[in-house]
A and B are shown apart, each in its own frame.
Chain A
C-alpha cells in the first residue's frame, strides 16, 4: 500500500472536477483522481449547449432562466440553488470563453445561442435563445479547454486510478483509497478535503446515452460510508436516443427546428405541448414519445412491418434544414446518424427512442457544495460534491437541457471556491486504522472470487429489468417486482467468478466492482420510486398520475442501513415561485 498526502483530492475529471481543480490549485496542493484519462470523461459527450441568459440574440434575463429551471424541475428544485445557477451563468460562460473555449459565433462575433427544451422568454411566452454552443461539440470543447487549463496550471492527475473506498468517520472525511488500474496496487490518499465529481450512472439501464464508465461508483461509495443519497428516483430519459443503442442525438437538433413524427408522419407533440411543441422539457417529450409507441403510433422497421409487430420508435426529422446548414450547426449528428443508424440526416429521418440520460438525484449538498448527512443539513466535514453526482438540488424532478454542463461547471467552480476558503483552516484528520485494510480486503475479495455467476450476465439482467420496471412509466406492481429482482441479483453477485487474477490492468475486476455499485444504488432508485406515490417530473406513476404537493413536495433521503434502504425526507426551498400547474 502506497501512501500519499494532498490537501485536496478531487475524484473525477469531467467539467465539475476539472473546473474545481482550477480553483483549488490556486491556493492548495490538489490532486485529481480519474478512472479514465481526464479528456475521456463523459462531460465531453454533451452536445447541444450550455445555458446562460447572455441575451446575445434576444431579450433574455436570469429571472426567466431561473423560472424555467424551477418550472422544469416540477417545483422540486431548491430555488436558492436555481437562482445561483441562473444568476452566475453568464459570468461562468464568459470566463470559459476567456480561458479559450471555442464557441460558434453570431454575425457580430458574439457567442452564438440556440433554443433548448423548456427555456423560454417572459415566463413561458416563447422559446428563448439561451444555449451557448460550439456546433454540437459543446461538452467536448469545454472539457478539453478545462483539461488544457489544468495542464497550464500543473494540476496533478492520477489517471486510470479507480477509487475503491471513502474514509469517513464521526462525520468527518479523512481521505480515500484508490486502486492503480495500470500497475495494480492500492494507494491511500490522506486529504483535508475530498470532492466527489464522479458523474452519473446511466449504465444501470439497457438503453442509455451514457458511457461504459458511468456506473455511479461515487454514489455506491457514499452509501457504503453510511451517508444518504437524495431524490434518486428521478432518472431523466432523454427523448432522442438512436433506436436500439440509445446514443445521444442532441436536443440542439430540435433547437434548430427538428420535428418528431409518428408513423402517420404527424408532429404529435401538438397534442402534448401545443406552445413549445418539440421544445417542451425532456420528461414531457420522452413521455409523449413513449405514449405514441404504447398506443400503436410508433414507427415500424421493415422487419416489424413484415411480421406485423407494432413499431417501437419514432422519427426525428431534420432534413428540411438542408445539408449545408446541418453540416454547419450539427456536424456530429451527421456522423452519429451515419455510423450508428445508417441514416443520412440531410435526406431521411432518424429512428429514435427515449434513452436513460441523467440523474437528477445524487449526493445531498449545500449550495456551497458541502455534503450533508441528514435532513437538518448537518455538514460532513471535509467532504464536498459537484456535478451530476451531486444533488443541490438545482434540477428537482426534471433537468432542462443545457443546464447540466452549466451546473457542472458553475457548481464545480463554486465548490472549488468553498474548498479554497475552507482548506486553510483544516487539518489532516487521523486515518482510522481499519480504513485502508478494509479497502484491501474488499479488493482481495474480487481477486479471490471464483463462483459460477457471470458479471456481464448479472449486469445485463439489471439493465434490462430497470428499463422495463423502473423506466419512463412506473407502477407499484412492477417496481416491487424490480426490488425483488435486485435483491436476487445482489445475492448472485456474491457468487461471481473472476478469471483474470493478474495485478496489471485487470478490467475484469474493475467491471465487477462497478457492477457492485450499480446493484447498490439501483435499489435506492427503485425504493424511492415505490415510496413516492405521485407523478412529478421524470417520475411518472401510472397508479398515481397527479402531482401531490400536499404530501410529496419534499426531497427523499435514502440510507443503506443493515443491508436495507431507509428513507427520510427534507423540505424543498421555495423563494420566488410558488408551485403551479405545469403546462407548456
Chain B
C-alpha cells in the first residue's frame, strides 16, 4: 500500500526554517513506522535523522509524534494508523536538534533531580537479599518498566506551560523509589517533589497515560505520591 510520510525536517546548519518533507513509499504488512523511516533513510534521503536502537520497545530511543500522538516508532504498525498520510514530528515540548532528534538533556536533568536510586543507610544483610514480599514488589513493578522514552512528559500540557515542571517520567521514578519498601529516602526526595514545579503541577490531564508505551499510568503514581505527601504532613 502506498503511504505518504510527511516528516518534520530541521537542519540547524542550513539556517533555514523547519519544514515538512513528503516521501511516498510502498508499505508492506507488518512494517512499522520505524521500518518506514529506515527505508526512507536508506533509499530516499540519507540525511534524515532519527534516533533508534532496539526496535522492540525496550530502549526508548524512538519516541516521536505520529499523527499527533506520542508513540514509539518501532512498535507502531503503519497499517494500524489507517491513514494515507502519516505525519511525523519530533516529541513536542523538547527542543529539536535536527529533524526528529530532540534535546533530551533537560529531561534527564529532571530524572537526576528526584534522586533516582535506592537510599538506605542501613547495611544490607550479608550473603543474602533484603526481603520484599511479592505484593510489595507489585507496588513498584510497573513503574520499574519505564524506558525513559520521554513520551509522557512530552505529552503533558502542564509541562508545555512550565518547563521547570518535573513531569510525569521523573515523578514515576520518584514513586518507584518512595514506594519501594527497601528505600528510606523519602525525606530527601519529598522536598524535590512537594512543590509547585513538582507533584502539584500535575492537573490530572492524563495525556501521559495514553502516551506511555509500557502502560505505566503515571497519573496513578503521581496521585499516590500526592496522597503520601499529605499523609506525612497531617
Contacts of A261 in B (CB 8 A): none
A107-B134, A339-B77 as given contacts; A45 in contact with B56, CB under 8 Å = yes
From A339, A498, A502, name the one whose CB has the most chain B CB atoms within 10 angstroms.
A339
Residue A98 at the chain B interface, CB threshold 8 Å: yes
B117 touching A148, Cβ below 8 Å: yes
Judge whether B60 is part of the interface by a CB distance below 8 angstroms. yes
**Minimal beta-carbon separation of B215 from chain A (angstroms):** 8
Is A508's CB within 8 Å of the partner chain B?
yes
**Residue contact A151 to B112, C-beta cutoff 8 Å:** yes
Show 23 residue pairs from A and B whose CB-CB distance is below 8 angstroms, ordered by the A residue.
Answer: A94-B127, A102-B144, A103-B129, A106-B134, A107-B134, A108-B131, A111-B129, A137-B145, A140-B145, A141-B145, A151-B112, A211-B53, A211-B59, A212-B54, A248-B56, A335-B75, A339-B75, A340-B75, A456-B42, A502-B13, A505-B49, A505-B101, A508-B41
**CB–CB B137/A104 < 8 A:** yes
- Contact string against B for A residues 271-289, beta-carbon threshold 8 Å, 1 for contact and 0 otherwise: 0000000000000000000
Size range of the chain B interface in the assembly = 35 or more
Q: How far apart are A243's CB and chain B's nearest CB, in angstroms?
A: 10
Given contacts A102-B140, A151-B116, A504-B98, 10 further A-B contacts (CB under 8 A): A41-B59, A97-B130, A103-B132, A105-B132, A148-B116, A211-B54, A339-B77, A457-B42, A498-B46, A508-B41
Are A40 and B134 interface neighbours, CB within 8 A? Answer: no
CB-nearest residue of chain B to A459: B42
- CB contacts (< 8 Å) of B233 on chain A: these are none
Which residue on B lies nearest to A502, using beta carbons? Answer: B13
B110-155 interface (Cβ within 8 A of A): 111-112, 115-118, 124, 127-134, 136-137, 140-141, 144-148
Of chain B, the residue at the smallest CB distance from A497 is B46
In the complex, chain A residues 201-254 whose Cβ is within 8 Å of any chain B Cβ: 211-213, 244-245, 247-248
Whether, in the assembled complex, B12 has its beta carbon less than 8 Å from a beta carbon of chain A, the answer is: yes
Count of A interface residues, CB-CB < 8 Å:
65
The chain B residue sitting closest to A214, CB to CB, is: B53
* Candidates A100, A105, A107; contact of B117 at CB < 8 Å: A100
Expressed in whole angstroms, the Cα–Cα distance for A457 and B41 within the complex equals: 12
B226 neighbours in A (Cβ, 8 Å) = none
Q: Is the CB of B47 within 8 A of A499?
A: yes
Chain A's nearest CB lies how many Å from the CB of B221? 14
The answer on a CB contact under 8 Å between B117 and A110 is: no
Partner of A104, one of B115, B134, B147: B134
| A500 interface hit (Cβ, 8 Å) | yes
Q: Using a CB–CB distance below 8 Å, which chain B residues touch chain A?
A: 11-13, 30, 41-43, 45-47, 49-61, 75, 77, 97-99, 101, 104, 108, 111-112, 115-118, 124, 127-134, 136-137, 140-141, 144-148, 177, 180, 182-183
- CA separation between A39 and B53, bound complex, in Å? 11
Q: A140-B145, A339-B77, A499-B46 are in contact. Are A97 and B129 (CB under 8 A)?
A: yes
* CB-CB nearest in chain A for B177: A100
What DSSP secondary structure best describes chain B's contact surface?
loop
Given the interface pairs A211-B53, A248-B56, the reply to whether A504 lies near B97 with Cβ below 8 Å is yes
Q: A266 within 8 Å of B by Cβ?
A: no
Q: In the complex, A331 Cα to B58 Cα: how many Å?
A: 13
Of B49, B54, B117, B136, the residue contacting A149 (CB under 8 A) is B117
> Which residues of chain B are within 8 angstroms of A109 by Cβ–Cβ distance?
131-134, 136
B52: A residues at CB distance < 8 A: 212
Q: How far is the CB of A496 from chain B (nearest CB, A)?
A: 10
- Complex contacts, B42 vs chain A, CB 8 Å: 454-457
Q: Is A309 an interface residue (CB 8 A)?
A: no
**Residues from chain B with Cβ under 8 Å of A106 in the complex:** 134
Let me know if A36 and B117 touch, CB within 8 A. no
Query: A370 near B: Cβ within 8 Å?
Result: no
Q: Is A262 an interface residue (CB 8 A)?
A: no
Does A568 sit within 8 A of B, measured CB to CB?
Answer: no
Known: A102-B141, A103-B137, A107-B134. A36 touches B59 (CB 8 A): yes
Contact B47 A100 (CB under 8 A): no
Which residues does chain A contribute within 8 Å of B128, judged by CB atoms? Answer: 94, 110
A39 and B111 alpha carbons, distance in the complex (Å):
12
Specify which chain A residues have a CB less than 8 angstroms from the CB of B56 in the assembled complex.
Answer: 45, 247-248, 336, 340
Neighbouring A residues of B50 by C-beta, 8 Å: 507
Query: CB distance B11 to A502 under 8 Å?
Result: yes
Contact A40 B61 (CB under 8 A): yes
Question: Do A503 and B129 have beta carbons less than 8 Å apart?
Answer: no
Taking CB atoms, residues of chain A closer than 8 Å to B147 are 39, 44, 140
Measured CA separation A244–B35 after assembly (Å): 13
- Name the residue on A nearest B127 (C-beta): A94
> A95: nearest residue on chain B (CB-CB)?
B124
Bound Cα distance A503, B133 (Å)? 52
Known: A36-B53, A148-B116, A212-B53. A505 touches B59 (CB 8 A): no
